[in-house]
Amino acid sequence: MAKLSDSGNPHQHISKQYDNELLDIRSRVLALGGLVEEQIEAAVVALVQGDVDLARRVIENDGKVNLMEVSIDEDCMQILALRQPSARDLRLVVAVIKTIIDLERIGDEAKRIARHAIDLSSCLSGKNQLTEVEQLGKHVRELLRNALDAFARMDVDTALHVVQCDKLVDGEYENIMRQQITYMMEDPRSTPACLGIMWTSRSLERIGDRSCNICEYVVYYARGKNIRHISIEQVQKDLLVG
């Protein structure tokens, strides 16, 4: 005679299995986020130090990011098809799917930075040209780390704080762009290096934007509100009322 689960209730066993599946995909999202964060850090180090070998490793490791994203996405599709989640669980699966898309694209930006690092290794006259970019990279990694922390705890306050801090990243990015344009006007020979720095800074700024996207998904899951295309001030008012 077949035995029931330890609880003696097959429905409870299925429910526990389902809960474990949801917990597993959340854990794997954080693992993917950790890998992507390492990719950003390595790409920026490769840029600043002119380390071509490290830059090439970042490019090669992008395949791992892609494989993890595909694996999590496939499991999310399985959950949607077989479990047919509703309400809060459905919001979680949707948030996971959207988050891993942004993480994969952040990985793509890290790969772009690594490619620029290879190109810039032969045309930069000194590390001083990269001081502001290195600082921007540090702040962007902090944004992503805090966004992942918000996701891990589904913490709306941390998520909103990340969105607010992105304004500082945008300001740093704009300063770098103005600086590089000035350098090119003063010395046209600096154009190749300046353009590489500008494209690298653009990738970092996009990583900041995608980190904010992850925070929007946290708010969507926790509060059921879609806050895209809404100012941070209006979001705070809406959540306070909600």
pLDDT of res. 228: 76
Write the pLDDT tens digit of every residue in 182-232. Answer: 999 999 999 999 999 999 999 999 999 999 999 999 999 998 887 776 766
Q: How confident is the model at residue 15 (pLDDT cuts 50, 70, 90)?
A: confident
Q: Is 88 exposed, middle or buried (0-12, 13-18, 19+ CB in 10 A)?
A: exposed
Write the pLDDT tens digit of every residue in 218-242. Answer: 999 998 887 776 766 666 666 654 5
DSSP state, residue 228: T
pLDDT of res. 124: 76
Contact (CB, 8 A) for 114 and 56: yes
- CA-based angle 128:131:135, to the nearest 5? 175
31 three-class SS: helix
Q: Cα–Cα distance between 163 and 209 in angstroms, integer?
A: 9
User: What is the residue-averaged pLDDT of the chain?
Assistant: 90
Q: Show the beta-strand stretches assigned E in 127-208.
A: none
pLDDT of res. 224: 86
Domain range annotation of the chain:
17-241
**Could you give the percent of the chain with pLDDT greater than 90?**
80
Contact (CB, 8 A) for 175 and 132: yes
Q: Cα–Cα distance between 92 and 89 in angstroms, integer?
A: 5
pLDDT of res. 227: 72
| DSSP letter for each residue of 145-165 | HHHHHHHHHT-HHHHHHHHHH
pTM, two decimal places = 0.89
227 three-class SS: coil
Q: Does pLDDT of 22 surpass 70?
A: yes
In the CATH hierarchy, which top-level class contains the domain 17-241?
mainly alpha
Residue 21 token pair = 């599946």
3, 22, 56, 232 from 204: Cα distances, Å: 56, 31, 18, 21
pLDDT of res. 126: 59
Q: How confident is the model at residue 7 (pLDDT cuts 50, 70, 90)?
A: very low
Write the pLDDT tens digit of every residue in 54-100. Answer: 999 999 999 999 999 999 999 999 999 999 998 899 999 999 999 99
